[in-house]
Amino acid sequence: MFLKTNIFKAITFKNGVQLPFTYWILVILRFALTLWPQSGYIHPDEYFQNVEVIAGDVFDIEISRTWEFDPKFPIRNIFVPKLVLSPPLNLIRILNPFMKSHFQVDLKTPYFLLVIPRLFICALSLINDYCLYKLCVLYGQNFRNRLKIFASSYVVLVYGTRSFSNNFEMIFFSLLLYLVGDCMLKSDKIIYHKQFLDERYKQALTPAERVRINKLQSHIPQHSLNYVFVIASIVVVGTFNRPTFIGFAFVPIFFWLHRGLGTQVVGFVDFHIRIFILKICAIPMLLLLIIIDSGYYGYITMADIESLEISWNNWIVTPLNFLRYNADPSNLTKHGLHPRWLHIAVNVPLLFNVLGFIALYTVLVNCYRFICGMYSKMPRRQSIRGLMLLSVIIPLGLLSLFPHQEARFIIPLLVPLVYLYANMLHANDEDTQNVKKMKKFFLSIWYTLNIIFTVFFGFIHQGGIYPFVNNLFYEIKGNYGTHVHVITTHSYSIPTYLLQLESTTRLWIDKTTNKRYKVAPSTFLHKFGSMPMEELFTVVDDSLTIAEMRLHKHNRKYRLYLVSPCSLHNKVMNVSVKYHYMEIKNEYTYYPHFCTEALPDFPNANDHNCYSNGLRTNESQLISLKLSQRISCYLSKFCLRAYSIRSKGV
């Protein structure tokens, strides 16, 4: 009885623990920063790879559908974006009439359209916290320090609340690590007790004792295929979300397959059975996602199914298209080629700062030990530490093989990095005074850099786009029928769904005549990247000419905006002088706005542009600026300006 009780106590996992108060403060901060809202704009993909497309489907509005969702050659799966973003967007659609009629609150405004989906994603990000917590509890690690480090990372506070597919990838990776870690621990315990009982059975002296041991053996739970269907489904969904997930999933799957291999209990037959069952369990989700994508992109219809006229051409596998596209070097060139060391040398320190440096140092140490044959000092092949360490090394190495490397591609590595090294930032009682000081120094660096990057990426980087869109939304709404032309340069694209423009492709029905019609576009968004200012004003001139023609022929009022970083103000004004019939006015200025496409020059001591109009009485007068004035002038150029343009005399 004693033996039986202790066996099942060892296999049962019950942990009643209390999370630290600091961690809850950081979780509240995560939601508070989401509600603020964060005006920072990290990368166009945070809108155009997910929420822009789903908003168009939910609200039936005008959107900018990128080439990745082109039905002719789609490379993006639609299931995960719909799974994550359809609930909050449909909530807005359903509640909006009620909120407008009872509380005079319009939910279809840029603020709510930005914040409500982010709140939903922010809530989903807690899955990462939960998986990290469970892994720490299962393996008896200090979860308090790790959760505080994880929750204070700007990757969680900023990236973790945005609609990046990389963010969803991190959630799938966390779930996979937790499930595999749980399976490894249970398998280790069960294998240990099974071997123990087998040994006791061989040593049993009486038939009665053998019967008792045999009964205990029959009650030991199965472990070989634990979570197999869930793990297979996560791998398939994660791969359809981002095919790079294969690199992240490789190590956890490898460890799941090798649990107990080499013991008397688990042999190569079990290994091959696991592989076979894992493949079988992946088929239902694989077929489901292929059907969903094929239906969404119009490759298969209900008419095809009813007539049973289905061929291979009716199916589309978006991850294969993704791989085919990225296998062509010319396609990668369009998106920018990077040196293959960028992830390791730049992106790891940028995202993970102190943890990244510790990880790189640890990898070098383990490589040295491997070369020197010091295998006993390296993590065991089937240990949780080995799982986490290889879950950092292998994905990072595989992603470094590709010449297109962006920092967000490796954000899923945060979970294993925190598990491995977060505790090294907190002093222990056994540490010497020097070690405690060093850890305290590292911890202060961690918090300082994460505060800086939270502010920078959350509010400063391309931070003028959202407030401009917010103003533009109310201007369009308040001047219905007025044609609005927006020309942006040296800035990211405007998320079209935030403007809630009427669809120009949808067929409307006139209730009085029952005739069908389409709405003509009245808002025109033009993005010209880093086009030279002289060429850009040619485009501005063409747009102004068209707007003036419509004004005089059809009495169609218009507003024309040129949106550019403040650092280009002198270029804008100098080129605009050549167009004497053009009236240009600085309509809006938004601070802060940092964009690498047009960094301002640091002013010299004689820069007249740094003086306000009230102080600049004579521009030919010799001036000498103090360093503080030059710095202030330089910082003032990190803004976004919206110029209104029209013909003189109008």
Q: List Cβ neighbours of 186 (8 Å cut-off, separation of 6 or more).
A: 11, 223, 226
Nearest to 29 by CA among 142, 148, 164: 148
Going by DSSP bridges, is the β-strand pair 582-590/558-565 parallel, antiparallel, or unpaired? unpaired
The letter for the amino acid at 242 is R
* CB-based burial, 448-479: b 16+ in 10 Å, e otherwise: ebbeebbbbbbbbbbbbbbbbbbbbbeebeee
pLDDT for residue 198: 78
Instruction: For residue 647, list its beta bridge partners.
Output: 582
Strand 558-565 to strand 483-488: parallel, antiparallel, or no bridges (unpaired)? parallel
Distances (CA, A) of 33 to 37, 40, 189, 494, 534: 6, 11, 43, 22, 40
What type of residue is 270? D
pLDDT (0 to 100) of residue 100: 95
Tell me the residue range of the domain where 241 lies. 168-303
Among 303, 333, 357, where does a domain finish? 303
| pLDDT at res. 17 | 67
Of 281, 303, 325, which marks where a domain is finished?
A: 303
Non-local (6+) Cβ contacts of 179 within 8 A are 227, 230, 231, 234
What order do you get walking across the sheet with 558-565 strand by strand? 523-527, 483-488, 558-565, 640-647, 582-590
Structure tokens at 525: 């968004």
pLDDT value of position 10:
41
247 lies in some domain: yes
Residue 355 resides in a domain: no
What distances in angstroms separate CA 2 from CA 7, 8, 202, 446, 512, one per listed residue?
A: 9, 10, 19, 49, 84
Report yes or no: 587 and 642 within 8 Å, Cβ to Cβ: yes
**For residue 620, is it within any domain?**
yes
- Residue at 609 is within a domain: yes
**What gap in Å lies between CA 635 and CA 623, rounded to an integer?**
20
pLDDT in tens, 399-456: 999 999 999 999 999 999 999 999 999 988 888 899 999 999 999 999 999 999 999 9
Cα–Cα distance, 97 to 287 (Å, whole number): 38
pLDDT value of position 522? 92
Q: Over the range 385-410, which residues count as b (16 or more CB within 10 Å of their CB) and which as e?
A: ebbbbbbbbebbeebbebebbbbbbb
Cα–Cα distance, 260 to 278 (Å, whole number): 17
Q: Is residue 506 part of a domain?
A: no
Ranges of the chain whose pLDDT falls below 70: 1-17, 612-622, 649-650
Q: What tokens does 184 get?
A: 């490894």
Q: Strand, coil or helix: what is 400?
A: coil
Domain count, the chain: 2
Residue burial 236-262, b: 16+ Cβ < 10 Å; e: rest: bbbbbbbbbbbbbbbbbbebbeebbee
284-337 per-position pLDDT tens digit: 999 999 999 999 999 988 777 777 777 888 899 999 999 999 888 888 888 888
Nearest to 152 by CA among 365, 527, 453: 453
What's the pLDDT score for residue 448? 98
Q: What is the pLDDT at residue 422?
A: 96
With contact defined as beta carbons under 8 Å apart, do 641 and 589 qualify? yes
Q: Give the domain-ending residue among 303, 328, 349.
A: 303
Cβ atoms of residues 185 and 177 within 8 Å: no
The structure's pTM equals 0.93
In a domain? residue 404: no
- Say if 248 falls within a structural domain: yes
Q: Express each pLDDT in 233-264 by its tens digit.
A: 999 999 999 999 999 999 999 999 999 888 88
The answer to the question of residue 514 being in a domain is no
N- to C-terminal Cα separation, the chain: 96
- How is residue 161 annotated by DSSP? G
Alpha helices in 308-432 (DSSP H): 318-326, 329-335, 342, 348-371, 384-399, 414-421
Q: At 519, give phi and psi (nearest 5°).
A: -80, 130
